[in-house]
Chain A
């Protein structure tokens, strides 16, 4: 398996634009997580899914953030409109049983 695949790896966008981050989890994994990493706050859980159903989105910072998982092999995290304070590295992770594996992350810069 190729592991968790995220795209794009880097995204630079202007304030106010819509940004969509994509994730392909490892096949057979039933949990999917979106985390955000910043120097100040470390790794923060944004939202997670179990069998494609959102379980807890209390970490989503504002209504500007939304996430979907239309099927077991794809998830998106959307920010609309984006703001400079959204600049961070966004990680997707998937898990089956006890082991969670991370993608390489998307480094988002909002200018």
Chain B
């Protein structure tokens, strides 16, 4: 089945850019997502990208997709302390009519 891998931890200084990386195994993945989870809360959908796109930008967030290498990244510009959370990469295939498969999440710590 599909496997999604992320590094577990990332620490950055406030004001710097954060880059969270994700790799996946299924080349037929059609939608790729980033979710954010704050302590004690559910998963908040941040953004997603369709597999025929290379990049998507939404305010401070930039998603890059390298389909050849099956690599997805999330860049957060001007990282703030409020961005400290766990970030999950998720993929679905079959035109999105299948459940999301999640990575284990990257814990982002922002140092003031």
Q: Which residues of A contact B (CB under 8 A)?
A: 4, 33, 42-43, 45, 48, 56, 91, 93, 97-105
Inside 8 A of A97's CB, which chain B residues have their CB? Answer: 96
Q: List 12 A-B contacts (CB under 8 A).
A: A42-B102, A43-B88, A43-B102, A43-B105, A45-B99, A45-B100, A56-B99, A98-B48, A99-B45, A102-B42, A103-B42, A104-B42
Query: Do A101 and B88 touch (CB < 8 A)?
Result: no
Question: In terms of DSSP, what is the predominant structure of the interface of chain B?
Answer: strand
Q: Which residues of B contact A (CB under 8 A)?
A: 31, 33, 35, 41-45, 48, 50, 88, 96, 99-105
Given A33-B99, A42-B102, A48-B99, the answer on whether A99 and B48 have CB atoms closer than 8 Å is: yes
Distance (whole angstroms) from the CB of A93 to the closest CB of chain B: 8
Inside 8 A of A4's CB, which chain B residues have their CB? Answer: 42
Bound-complex Cα distance A84 to B81 (A) = 35
B95 to A, closest residue via Cβ: A98
A39 to B, closest residue via Cβ: B104
Query: Do B42 and A98 touch (CB < 8 A)?
Result: no
- Indicate which residue in A48, A101, A104 contacts B41 across the interface (CB closer than 8 Å): A104
